Amino acid sequence: MADKKLQIALYWGAACGGCDVAVLDTNEFILDVAAVADIRLWPIAADGKYKDIEAMADGELDLAIFNGGVRNSENEHIAHLLRQKSKLLVAFGSCAYMGGIPGLANLTSREKILETAYRRNPSIEWGNRVVPQPETKLNGKELEIPKFYRRVYKLDQVVDVDYYIPGCPPQPDRVRETLLAIVKGELPPKGSVVGAFDHALCEDCPRTKNEKKVKKFYRPWEIKADPDTCLLEQGVLCCGVATRSGCGVRCPTSGIPCRGCYGPPPGVTDQGAKLASAVASIVDSKDPNEIEEILAGLPDFTSFAYRYGVAASLLQRSYRQ
Amino acid sequence: MEEQRIGVYVCQCGTNIAKVVNCEEVVRALSEQPGVVVAKTYKYMCSNPGQEMIIADIQEHGLDRIVVAACSPRMHEPTFRKAIQTAGLNPYFVEMANIREQCSWVHDDPQVATDKARALTFGALHRVAKHEPLERMSVEMCPDVLVIGGGVCGMTAALELADGGNHVYLVEREGTLGGNVARVDLTAPYLDSARDLITALVTRVEEHKRIDVLVHSQVSSLEGFVGNFTATVETIWGDGASVSQFRVGNVVVATGYKEFDASRVVHYGYGKLPNVITSFEFEKMLRAGRIQTKEGKIPQYVAIIHCVGSRSKEFHTYCSRVCCMTALKYAHEVKSAIPNCYVSDVYIDMHAFGKGHEDFYKRGSEAKTLFLMYAKNDHPVIRKAGPGDDCEMLIEVNEKLSGEQIEIPADLVILMVGMEAREDSDAVARLVNISRDKDGWFIESHPKLDPVATTTDGIYIAGVCAAPKDIPDTVAQARAAAGRILAKTIRGSIEIDAVFAEIDEDKCSGCRVCNALCPYSAITYDASKKKSTVISAVCKACGACVAACPSGAIKARHFTDSQIFAQIEGVLT
Ligand SMILES: Cc1cc2nc3c(=O)[nH]c(=O)nc-3n(C[C@H](O)[C@H](O)[C@H](O)COP(=O)(O)OP(=O)(O)OC[C@H]3O[C@@H](n4cnc5c(N)ncnc54)[C@H](O)[C@@H]3O)c2cc1C
Ligand code: SF4
Ligand code: SF4
Ligand code: SF4
Ligand code: SF4
Ligand code: SF4
């Protein structure tokens, strides 16, 4: 590898841009990478055309970093393209890894999304309430935009993925370590989650843990939580129990509960299901009515427990495409 | 992994299964599956020829996994585990599909039942492929025994165990042994002296070199598991307290009962009318040798009322089982002390089911006692007599047999108070980790087939603490519990099922979600390591912690995610 510069592509699918910023946040490191690598595609930072990628030989790229989920036909097309052209494909960030925040849309329907975005959104002017169609005729010409799918896919539901870097967005230090390892060819077994640890967040969280028995759940702003005691046992839903460590315990050490962005710890198939059973297990009551009341303090639990993982969940709706 | 060689056996259970499920069709479907080397149906798989067929096939075809589609695994899983073990396979390499209780017994439509039987058997097939070999564990069994409660029950159990060679710690809360029987005069139905009975027991217990009696004492904690408990006992002396600790392998709980508080039945005026007394107060009189009213007079009319606090909607619905015979005993004792006294006995039904009880009742009814029957929930009412009456009180009874309202005179009324769980039975249950029923009595492992064991290994219940009973039944249970323990301790060790939950220390984040969850208290937390562990000998593999552990650190042996997912996938194919 020493004689030839590394060939790299970075791409965003259904993403917010945060992941690309996380790469930029590695600061001078990314310049070092640039010194040893040719960045062939990086929509947020550099020019590059799909047709240039299409023209490449299979396997010409050494590394493709894909952030964001797969929401439309364009995302899917590029995912296939990068897979074909790159030796390594990395799912970068929670969206590519698990579907992420955009994946929450899988709880509703395509029709409802389009309705909300293009018809009911109060900021849309009258006369402008047009739902975009995949194909439009304009002045006798056929125009095409990417097809909006019924659901969001995580990257490996669409193409084969070599490595996963979790986080929303991944922590810059982890990104640096991981890219360095890839550059040096110090690669873990294919399919590994990299840039994170092999245990749950609580292990690294400095808050004191006691037996957990909760009589009431609070939204974070409803309670002045003790700064040294586990948030979950104070009734603030913290996902750290069912989340892979790697972020540096960013949230609980800043006084707010973990939202689970690093995904499930190794061996856990479904993060949301685990959170549901963990939360159910610490409810301190045997009386059905009281339990009902305590659980009523958890608004929209599905979106909470699956904030990043709807698309990766065991339970999937059946879609007739 | 090497290709597996699986044998599938579909049982007809006589016609129990075959009359609804088409067993041949299930066999046909299964025999086409990859990995299935043998697929057969047979009339009775659990019979000797059925088991021998499996054993012969294992040897002949080199089978390494077995599926038996038959009845509930609760019924015959041990049978088939043993069979395949005889053939040299690990006993956990068999999986059962329940096509009787879950198919033929609950469906009428043969096609539906057959489809379901096939799906369940597919599930078992996919699952058994993922089974791992498991080994049973053996743990040391400490022969010493803790007996809680020094009544007839506790003393009898202690003597039986100590005579058998085991060391016993007998912990009694009061200052003396004897329990409630020590408050009784003569015992029904043979009218032997309770005092003699108790004295004989207490003397033997106190002199026994293998029994340590701790009076004024209570068990404050019990930790560990069958074979290896550590008990902490607090003893209160006149001016101070001491704490002792010892290791025991098993525990007998014999904490008995307390009497029902008669003042809760307001229309009997207990506590207000001075000559309305309870059975225990009457026993005290008998023991003192003088039956008299509060005013020191010899009563001319004595009335005995049954079922006080028992067999009633308001208080306890159960029968306390000893009051009827005790009432007859009182009638007898009153008559022999005051021959011209009129005794009336006011009852709901006369429960005389025990050995010798019916004869005792017959003798009692010949002794000129007036028997009056009242209806459940239609209590007699007691009021003070007027100045013109020749008695202290008058009792109004709606007599059920004659249908008349009858008024009877009384100078002394004896209320046959029932038995009730002790106030601290909840605390005791928690201490030894057993459950109580709706009335507070401790729950046995099986009400018919396993009466003195509990769902916690090594904890036995005997005597009245499990439900009201008389002395002979109490003694029988005490000896049964002792016998169970002697049989277990004689081997020096016990085998523990290989199916239990395990915590992977590397994965445990120390979040403590699981800590308070285990119904058997099998989970401990190591504060220095910041990790939780399951004591495998205590774990009953209920799965509660496995589902709860949010970091996937707890695995249930024989119920792993991959096994369960494989089973689901099998059912869905
Ligand atoms: C009025 C009356 C008359 C009866 N007459 C007869 C009769 O004639 N014939 C007959 O067969 N049966 C009779 N019985 C029934 C008899 O009383 C019971 O069968 C017998 O007492 C049961 O013995 P036990 O050891 O199970 O319970 P108990 O006698 O209640 O003994 C329990 C012992 O445990 C101790 N204890 C309780 N809790 C603790 C604790 N937490 N720690 C340490 N120690 C504790 C208590 O102090 C007590 O010493 C009569 C019952 C009543 C109510
Ligand atoms: S993982 Fe988070 S930061 Fe990255 S694209 Fe998705 S939402 Fe944005
Ligand atoms: S649940 Fe949250 S607050 Fe509690 S220990 Fe885990 S990460 Fe920390
Ligand atoms: S604490 Fe949780 S939500 Fe916050 S950054 Fe870490 S993993 Fe993400
Ligand atoms: S729930 Fe799991 S991770 Fe948490 S303490 Fe228990 S075993 Fe450890
Ligand atoms: S499986 Fe059940 S019995 Fe075993 S440790 Fe877990 S909660 Fe306790």
Q: CATH number of the domain at B517, please.
A: 3.30.70.20
Does B257 sit in the ligand 1 pocket, CB within 6 Å?
A: yes
pLDDT at A318: 66
Q: How far is the CA of B276 from the centre of ligand 1 (A)?
A: 23
Residues B85 and B42 in one domain: yes
User: Do the Cβ atoms of B509 and A267 come within 8 Å?
Assistant: no
Tell me whether residue B564 is in a domain: no
Encoded tokens for B421:
């769980």
Residues of B in contact with A211 (CB under 8 A): 512, 515-516, 525
* Count of C-beta atoms within a 10 Å radius of residue B170: 29
Last residue of a domain, one of B134, B159, B194: B134
Q: pLDDT tens-digit profile of B1-25?
A: 468 999 999 999 999 999 999 999 9
pLDDT of residue B265: 92
The reply to whether ipTM tops 0.95 is: no
CA–CA separation, A298 and A215 (whole Å): 12
The pLDDT, as a whole number, for residue A123 is 87
With b meaning 16 or more CB within 10 Å and e meaning fewer, what string describes A271-302? bbbbbbbbbebbbeeeeeeeeeebeeeeeeee
Check CB contact of B513 with chain A, cutoff 8 Å: yes
Same domain as B372, residue B269:
yes
Burial of A314 (0-12, 13-18, 19+ CB in 10 A): exposed
Q: Lowest mean pLDDT of A27-41, B434-448, B483-497, name the range.
A: A27-41
Mutate to test the pocket of ligand 3, among A201, A236, A254 (most ligand atoms within 8 A of CB): A201
CB B329 within 8 A of CB B322: no
Domain shared by B231 and B151, yes or no: yes
Name all domains of chain A by residue range, CATH numbers in brackets.
Answer: 6-101+150-184 (3.40.50.700), 109-149 (no CATH), 201-312 (no CATH)
With an 8 Å Cβ cutoff, are A200 and B544 in contact? no
Tell me the H-state helices in B421-463.
Answer: 425-432
pLDDT of the residue at A321: 45
Q: Closest approach of chain B CAs to the CA of A273, in angstroms?
A: 9
Do residues B536 and B502 both lie within one domain? yes
Ligand 2: which residue has its CA nearest to atom 4?
A: A19
Domain harbouring B93, CATH code: 3.40.50
Q: Cβ neighbours of residue B17 under 8 Å, at least 6 residues apart?
A: B11, B23, B70, B99, B100, B103, B104, B117
Any residues with CB less than 8 A from the CB of A147 and at least 6 apart, and which?
Answer: A72, A73, A134
Tell me what pLDDT residue A46 has: 84
Per-residue pLDDT band for A1 (boundaries 50, 70, 90) equals very low
Q: Is A265 within 8 Å of B552 when comparing Cβ atoms?
A: yes
Kindly report the nearest CA distance between residue A67 and chain B, in angstroms.
Answer: 26
Tokens of B481: 């519990």
Average pLDDT over residues A162-176: 92
State the average pLDDT over residues A183-198: 89
How far apart, in whole angstroms, are the C-alpha atoms of residue B291 and residue B571?
A: 76
Nearest residue to B251 via CA among B502, B38, B12, B465: B465
B347 shares a domain with B275 = yes
Which residues of chain A are within 8 Å of residue B547 when distances are taken between CB atoms?
277, 281
Q: Verify that B376 and B288 share a domain, yes or no.
A: yes
Quote the number of domains for chain B: 4
In this structure, is residue B50 part of a structural domain? yes
Task: Give yes or no for a contact between B498 and B92, defined as CB atoms under 8 angstroms apart.
Answer: yes
> Is residue B253, in this structure, part of any structural domain at all?
yes
**For residue B507, is it within any domain?**
yes
pLDDT class of B341 with cuts at 50, 70, 90: very high
- Asked, for residue B71, whether it belongs to a domain, the answer is yes
- 538-557 in chain B: CB under 8 A from chain A: 544, 547-553
Lowest-pLDDT range of A21-30, A268-277, B219-228: A21-30
- How high is the pLDDT of residue B237? 85
Same domain flag for B220 and B320: no
Does residue B469's CB lie within 6 angstroms of at least one atom of ligand 1?
yes
Neighboring chain A residues of B549 at a CB cutoff of 8 Å: 274, 278
CA distance A116 to A275: 30
**Cβ proximity of A175 and A181 under 8 Å:** no
Which pair of structure tokens corresponds to residue B132? 């791992």
- Which whole number is the average pLDDT over B88-111? 97
Residues B162 and B125 grouped into a single domain: no
Q: B516 to chain A: nearest residue by CA? A: A211
Query: Which contacts qualify for A46-52: CB closer than 8 Å, 24 or more apart?
Result: A48/A9, A50/A78, A50/A81
pLDDT tens-digit readout, B15-60: 999 999 999 999 999 999 999 999 999 999 999 999 999 999 999 9
Residues B297 and B357 in one domain: yes
Which domain range does residue B414 map to? 260-419
Contact check, Cβ <8 Å, A281/B510 = no
* Mutual angle of helices B73-86 and B48-61, in 10-degree steps: 50
Residue B10 vs residues B7, B71, B514, B571: alpha-carbon distances, Å: 10, 10, 40, 16
Region A175-190: mean pLDDT is 84
Chain A contact for B516 (CB, 8 A cutoff): yes
Q: Which of B1, B31, B2, B11 is nearest to B122 (CA)?
A: B31
A100: which 2 tokens? 């992420």
The answer to whether residue A90 neighbours chain B at the CB level (below 8 Å) is: no
B31 SS3 class: helix
Mean pLDDT value across residues B533-554:
94
Same domain, B251 and B342: no
Tell which of B372, B393, B419 closes a domain: B419
In whole angstroms, give the CA distance from residue B570 to residue B573: 5
Angle between the N-to-C axes of helices B23-31 and B110-128, in degrees from 0 to 180, rounded to the nearest 10: 40
* Confidence (pLDDT) at A131: 87
B565 assigned to some structural domain:
no
| Chain A contact present for B511, CB below 8 A | yes
Residues B235, B267 within the same domain: no
B270 plus B221 within the same structural domain: no
- Asked whether A242 and A283 are in contact (CB, 8 A), the reply is no
Nearest CA in chain A to B552: A268
- A249 lies within 8 A of chain B by CB: no
What is the rounded average pLDDT of the residues B472-488? Answer: 97
pLDDT exceeds 80 at position B321: yes
**Most A-contacting residue of B436, B503, B507, B511 (CB-CB within 10 A), to test interface:** B511
Q: Please, are residues A80 and A158 in contact by the beta-carbon 8 Å criterion?
A: yes
**pLDDT at position B366, please?**
77
Ligand nearest to the CA of A201: 3
Cβ pair B320, B418 in contact under 8 A: yes
The CA distance from B511 to the nearest CA of chain A, in Å, is: 6
- Answer yes or no: is B563 within a domain: no
Q: Is A203 on the interface with B (CB under 8 A)?
A: yes
Structure confidence at residue B383 (pLDDT): 93
Q: Given A198, A232, A281, which is nearest B517 (Cβ)? A: A281
Separation of alpha carbons B259 and B21, rounded Å: 56
- Looking at residue B139, what is its pLDDT? 86
CATH number of the domain enclosing B314: 3.50.50.60
Residue indicated by tokens 């989970």 = B523
A305 at interface of B, judged by CB pairs closer than 8 A: no
If you average pLDDT over residues A56-79, what whole number do you get?
96
Pairing of strands A135-138, B211-214: unpaired
- Which of A201, A237, A274 is most worth mutating to test chain B (most B CB atoms within 10 A of its CB)? A274
Query: Do A174 and A196 contact (CB within 8 A), yes or no?
Result: yes
Q: Which two tokens stand for residue B311?
A: 């067999």
The whole-number average pLDDT for the span B377-386 is 91
Mean pLDDT of chain B: 95
Please indicate whether, in this complex, the C-beta atoms of A278 and B550 are within 8 angstroms of each other.
yes
User: Of ligand 3's atoms, which has the minimum distance to the CA of residue B509?
Assistant: 6
Asked if the Cβ–Cβ distance from A241 to B550 is below 8 Å, we say yes
pLDDT given for residue A315 in this prediction: 81
**Residues B175-206: tens digit of each pLDDT:** 999 999 999 999 988 999 999 999 999 999 99
Lowest mean pLDDT of A120-134, A229-243, B73-87, name the range: A120-134
Question: Taking the CA of residue B498 as centre, how many other CA atoms within 13 Å lie in the half-sphere pointing to its CB?
Answer: 13
Single-letter code of the amino acid located at A320? R
pLDDT tens figures, B147-156: 999 999 999 9
For the four alpha carbons of B539, B556, B117 and B107, in that order, the dihedral sign comes to positive
In a domain, B246, yes or no: yes
Last residue of a domain, one of B101, B134, B167: B134
Look at residue A319 and tell me whether its pLDDT is greater than 70.
no
User: Which of A97, A72, A69, A57 has the alpha carbon at shortest distance from A11?
Assistant: A69
Query: What is the full DSSP assignment across B483-505?
Result: HHHHHHHTTSEEEE-S--EEE-T
User: B513 to chain A nearest CA, in Å?
Assistant: 6
* B527 part of contact set with chain A, CB < 8 Å: no
